[in-house]
Amino acid sequence: MADNYPQPLLVDTNALVARSLARAGVDRMFGVVGIPVTGLANRAVAHGIRFIAFHNEQSAGYAASAYGYLTGRPGILLTVSGPGCVHGLAGLSNALANAWPMVLISGSSDQRDVGRGDFQELDQIAAVKPFSKFSVKATNITQIPSCVFQVLDHAGSGRPGGCYLDLPSDVLHQTVTEAEAEKLLIDAEKERKQEGVKIVSNSEIEKAVSLLRKAERPLIVFGKGAAIARAENSLKKLVETTGIPFLPTPMGKGLLPDTHELAATAARSLAIGKCDVALVVGARLNWLLHFGDPPKWSKDVSFILVDICEEEIELRKPCLGLVGDAKEVVEMINKEIKEDPFCLGKSHPWVEAISKKSKENVLKMEAQLAKDVVPFNFLTPMRIIRDAIVGMGSPAPIVVSEGANTMDVGRAVLVQTEPRTRLDAGTWGTMGVGLGYCIAAAVASPDRLVVAVEGDSGFGFSAMEVETLVRYELPVVVIVFNNGGVYGGDRRDPEEITGPYKDDPAPTSFVPGAAYHTLIEAFGGKGYLVGTPEELKSALAESFAARKPAVINVTIDPYAGAESGRLQHKN
Ligand SMILES: Cc1ncc(C[n+]2csc(CCOP(=O)(O)OP(=O)(O)O)c2C)c(N)n1
Ligand SMILES: *[C@@H]1O[C@H](CO)[C@@H](O)[C@H](O)[C@H]1NC(C)=O
Ligand SMILES: CC(=O)N[C@H]1CO[C@H](CO)[C@@H](O)[C@@H]1O
Ligand SMILES: [Mg+2]
């Protein structure tokens, strides 16, 4: 009887995708399941990949991109077709903007039904085009291992970014034998290749070092490109052997401790306004760095740009461009300096000027921070949070931050002492990243507490993911600065408030007194409502020690913060 013969073991596409991912070292996946990818999520779990299931693909995508940043390996987002893929574009585009490695994998329509109005039909390859470095549709199970490796390799090499893999539902149902599957995997592994990166020549390194050596007011600027390249030790050596002051971009904070004596963070305007040579490592001269233009920068400044992407350097010419991985290039610079070392020293006029200005600004800020202002302004609770975070010691908590006033004040007040411990709205100033980033951080660094400091508007974009925190029991404490809306209260001029809808809430206003802390209680997490320094201190002490999901709703004066100067009419 034919039935008595052993049948060859069959592997379907779901299993082969999971196996290819696992073979490539993927250990986490973020996403939202449904037809046709639920099987893929289950197969991934069976292959030892932790699947973090979200409420919304936007948050899951932000999580995947941040996971890529924190680990240096592409974060994976899994979505269904059509609307799932479209929601995933938020994460994909944010990954591209931040130059973080990520792969979006979406199911798509059966290839035979394309153009006939199939369930959740969309030309996803066209949809991802503006937001991805590379995309590919697998049209047959035999292509799976090769397609999986290609998206991973493109996402993670060269300048990192988002890549896309399209899995039509008919392909998801195809099978091969176990022996064929293994052969496909082995063949595809042999073909794997990383994007070639041009590496800077020794003569360019010599030029850079000579520029730095001759500079009267040199500055070292670094950003999240240096963070992803794990250049912290090389940068520390460079800064400490040369005595050149440094300035991190917001997410570069922590590569060297904010408390370092050569940190120019508190003297930023002076540092960028007066430096004559700026070595910029893994940071783009975009809006965050005022495009490198006057009047913020001196018109005579010479830039030395270290970037993995040659086109980025071409864009910014004239400058001396050093193409390559930030860590490798800084190590080459260190080696060249070692031949003939130089150090500015504490009494160098430039170092002294920066140090003096920093101290002045820090003293001014600390005088403001020392006051206990109630109802809370932004500074008082931020100081209390800073002290609680610093009190945690090492490994330092990962700080996630979004919002307008809340993020700006947090950037100035919170202290980063360890690399890759700050995640914020980033290059795009994206609101809604907070909860996804918290989840990615907790999953990537289980030894660290995660503390989110969020505006109430920023928080609201992805607030339902507090359930995800509770479900996976992640050690995340979300602190919401509740000032009743975007930037705070209704800040319109009375003359502006006319017309038939004048009695509607202002476009910036949310329900006053929103009880955000009760949201997490709906799922069994811990909520706190605080309005005084004592209440906040006690909520922080308790939730930090518990290392369990919590939301602290901090009542902030709706008229504190940036635009309060315009609010005289309210008095
Ligand atoms: C995706 C996205 N949508 C909208 C905005 C515009 N935006 C900038 S900040 C902000 C929210 C600011 O309010 P909040 O988070 O409460 O911070 P606050 O200033 O009140 O502390 C918004 C909606 C944005 N940056 N990104
Ligand atoms: C997939 O490709 C293989 C090898 O080229 C081929 O034999 C098979 O028929 C294809 N399957 C489908 C469903 O097209
Ligand atoms: C429930 C509750 O007490 N909510 C408070 C939260 O914050 C707002 C505005 O900042 C206060 O007005 C509420 O009383
Ligand atoms: Mg707000």
Q: How does pLDDT run across 96-139, given as a tens digit for each residue?
A: 999 999 999 999 999 999 889 889 999 999 999 999 999 999 99
Q: Is pLDDT larger for residue 561 or for residue 250?
A: 250
Q: How does pLDDT run across 490-533, given as a tens digit for each residue?
A: 889 999 999 999 999 999 999 999 999 999 999 999 999 999 99
Residue 476: strand, helix, or coil: strand
Q: Is the pLDDT of residue 567 over 50?
A: no
Q: Confirm whether 236 is domain-assigned.
A: yes
Residues 504 and 392 in one domain: yes
| pLDDT for the residue numbered 570 | 30
Q: What is the mean pLDDT of the chain?
A: 95
Residues 318 and 432 in one domain: no
Residues 218 and 169 in one domain: no
57-71 and 83-98 helices, crossing angle to 10°: 30
What residues contact 504, with CB distance under 8 A and at least 6 apart?
A: none
Q: Is the pLDDT of residue 262 over 50?
A: yes
Q: Confirm whether 518 is domain-assigned.
A: yes
Residue bearing the CA closest to ligand 3, atom 10: 555
Q: How far apart are CA 160 and CA 192, in angstroms?
A: 17
Q: What is the mean pLDDT of residues 297-307?
A: 97
Contact at 8 Å (CB) between 89 and 128?
Answer: yes
Residues 531 and 557 in one domain: yes
Does ligand 1 have an atom closer than 6 angstroms to the CB of 20? no
Q: In angstroms, what is the span from residue 476 Cα to ligand 3's centroid?
A: 22
Does ligand 1 have an atom closer than 6 angstroms to the CB of 559? no
Residues with CB under 6 A from ligand 3: 482-484, 512-513, 515, 529, 553, 555-556
pTM for the full model?
0.95
Residues 419 and 550 in one domain: yes
Which pLDDT band holds residue 3 (cuts at 50, 70, 90)? low
Please give the share of the chain, as a percent, with pLDDT higher than 90: 92
Which pLDDT band holds residue 475 (cuts at 50, 70, 90)? very high
Q: Confirm whether 267 is domain-assigned.
A: yes
Q: What share of the chain is helix, strand, coil (3-state, %, to 5)?
A: 45, 15, 35
What residues contact 376, with CB distance under 8 A and at least 6 apart?
A: 531, 554, 555, 556, 557, 560
Q: How far apart are CA 203 and CA 481, in angstroms?
A: 51
Atom of ligand 1 nearest to the CA of 458: 15
Q: Final residue of a domain: which of 302, 323, 357?
A: 357
Question: 320-329: buried (b, 16+ CB within 10 Å) or exposed (e) per residue?
Answer: bbbbbbbbbb
Q: Starting at the edge strand that comes first in sequence, how are the strands of the sheet with 28-31 ordered?
A: 50-53, 28-31, 75-79, 102-108, 162-168, 134-137
| pLDDT for the residue numbered 566 | 36
Beta-bridge partners for 246: 220, 263
Residue bearing the CA closest to ligand 2, atom 14: 140
Residues 73 and 159 in one domain: yes
Q: How far apart are CA 32 and CA 54, in angstroms?
A: 6
Q: What is the mean pLDDT of residues 412-429?
A: 97
Residue bearing the CA closest to ligand 1, atom 9: 404
Atom of ligand 3 nearest to the CA of 517: 1
Atom of ligand 2 nearest to the CA of 174: 13
Reported as type and span, the H/E element at residue 272 is: helix 268-274
Q: Are strands 10-12 and 175-177 parallel, antiparallel or unpaired?
A: antiparallel
Q: Confirm whether 5 is domain-assigned.
A: no
Does ligand 1 have an atom closer than 6 angstroms to the CB of 533? no
Q: Final residue of a domain: which of 191, 216, 250?
A: 191
Does ligand 1 have an atom closer than 6 angstroms to the CB of 456? yes
Q: Is the pLDDT of residue 395 over 60?
A: yes
Does ligand 2 have an atom closer than 6 angstroms to the CB of 174? yes
Does ligand 1 have an atom closer than 6 angstroms to the CB of 483? yes
Ligand closest to the CA atom of residue 405: 1
Residues 327 and 404 in one domain: no
Q: In angstroms, what is the span from residue 403 Cα to ligand 1's centroid?
A: 5
DSSP 280-343: EES---SGGGGGG-TTTS-TTPEEEEEES-HHHHHHT-SSEEEES-HHHHHHHHHHHHHHS---
Q: How far apart are CA 182 and CA 188, in angstroms?
A: 10
Q: In angstroms, what is the span from residue 451 Cα to ligand 3's centroid?
A: 21
For position 206, which CATH number holds? Answer: 3.40.50.1220
Q: Confirm whether 2 is domain-assigned.
A: no
| pLDDT for the residue numbered 562 | 67
| pLDDT for the residue numbered 568 | 35
Residues 106 and 232 in one domain: no
Q: Confirm whether 364 is domain-assigned.
A: no
Q: In angstroms, what is the span from residue 125 Cα to ligand 2's centroid?
A: 22
Residues 70 and 174 in one domain: yes
Q: Is 202 exposed, middle or buried (0-12, 13-18, 19+ CB in 10 A)?
A: exposed
What residues contact 467, with CB distance under 8 A and at least 6 apart?
A: 55, 522, 523
Which pLDDT band holds residue 2 (cuts at 50, 70, 90)? low
Does ligand 1 have an atom closer than 6 angstroms to the CB of 62? no
Q: How far apart are CA 156 and CA 197, in angstroms?
A: 12
Q: How far apart are CA 326 and CA 313, in angstroms?
A: 13
Reported as type and span, the H/E element at residue 526 is: strand 526-530
| pLDDT for the residue numbered 193 | 80
Phi, psi (degrees; rounded to nearest 5) at 452: -100, 135
Beta-bridge partners for 139: none
The first and second tokens of residue 480, run together, are 């919401």
One-letter-per-residue 3-state SS of 357-424: HHHHHHHHHHHHHHCCCCCECCHHHHHHHHHHHHCCCCCCCEEEEECCHHHHHHHHHCCCCCCCCEEE
Q: How many CB atoms lie within 10 A of CB 395?
A: 12
**To test the ligand 2 pocket, which listed residue (11, 142, 143, 187) has its Cβ within 8 A of the most ligand atoms?**
142
Does ligand 1 have an atom closer than 6 angstroms to the CB of 434? no
Contact at 8 Å (CB) between 153 and 20?
Answer: no
The first and second tokens of residue 506, run together, are 């202002």
| Torsion angle of the four alpha carbons 413, 243, 251, 162, in this order, in degrees rounded to the nearest 10 | 180
Residues 172 and 259 in one domain: no
Q: In angstroms, what is the span from residue 196 Cα to ligand 1's centroid?
A: 39
Atom of ligand 2 nearest to the CA of 171: 13
| pLDDT for the residue numbered 160 | 97
Residues 234 and 185 in one domain: no
Phi, psi (degrees; rounded to nearest 5) at 400: -110, 135
Atom of ligand 1 nearest to the CA of 483: 20
Atom of ligand 3 nearest to the CA of 515: 1
Q: Domain limits at 293?
A: 202-357
**To test the ligand 3 pocket, which listed residue (482, 486, 552) has its Cβ within 8 A of the most ligand atoms?**
482
Does ligand 1 have an atom closer than 6 angstroms to the CB of 406? yes
Q: In angstroms, what is the span from residue 307 Cα to ligand 1's centroid?
A: 30
Cα–chain center distance at 42: 27
Which pLDDT band holds residue 564 (cuts at 50, 70, 90)? very low
The residue with tokens 């490109």 is 225
Q: In angstroms, what is the span from residue 557 Cα to ligand 3's centroid?
A: 10
Q: How far apart are CA 269 and CA 265, in angstroms?
A: 9
Q: Confirm whether 565 is domain-assigned.
A: yes
Number of independent structural domains in the chain: 3
Q: How many residues does the chain have?
A: 571
- Greatest Cα pair distance, the chain, in angstroms, is 94
Q: Final residue of a domain: which of 150, 168, 191?
A: 191
Ligand closest to the CA atom of residue 516: 3
**To test the ligand 2 pocket, which listed residue (12, 140, 173, 175) has its Cβ within 8 A of the most ligand atoms?**
140
The first and second tokens of residue 559, run together, are 């008229």
Q: How far apart are CA 367 and CA 358, in angstroms?
A: 14
Q: How far apart are CA 328 and CA 378, in angstroms?
A: 40
Ligand closest to the CA atom of residue 430: 1
Q: In angstroms, what is the span from residue 124 Cα to ligand 3's centroid?
A: 44
Does ligand 1 have an atom closer than 6 angstroms to the CB of 458? yes
Q: How far apart are CA 515 and CA 389, in angstroms?
A: 24
Q: How does pLDDT run across 50-105, given as a tens digit for each residue?
A: 999 999 999 999 999 999 999 999 999 999 999 999 999 999 999 999 999 999 99
Beta-bridge partners for 399: 422, 451
Q: Is the pLDDT of residue 423 over 80?
A: yes
The first and second tokens of residue 518, run together, are 């009760």
| Phi-psi category of residue 414: left, alpha or beta, with phi > 0 → left and psi -120 to 50 → alpha | beta
| pLDDT for the residue numbered 5 | 75
Q: Confirm whether 4 is domain-assigned.
A: no
Residues 527 and 378 in one domain: yes
Q: How far apart are CA 12 and CA 304, in angstroms?
A: 51
Residue 550: strand, helix, or coil: strand
Beta-bridge partners for 131: none
Q: In angstroms, what is the span from residue 554 Cα to ligand 4's centroid?
A: 11
Q: In angstroms, what is the span from residue 489 Cα to ligand 1's centroid?
A: 13
Residue bearing the CA closest to ligand 3, atom 11: 513
Q: What is the mean pLDDT of residues 356-367?
A: 97
For position 538, which CATH number holds? Answer: 3.40.50.970
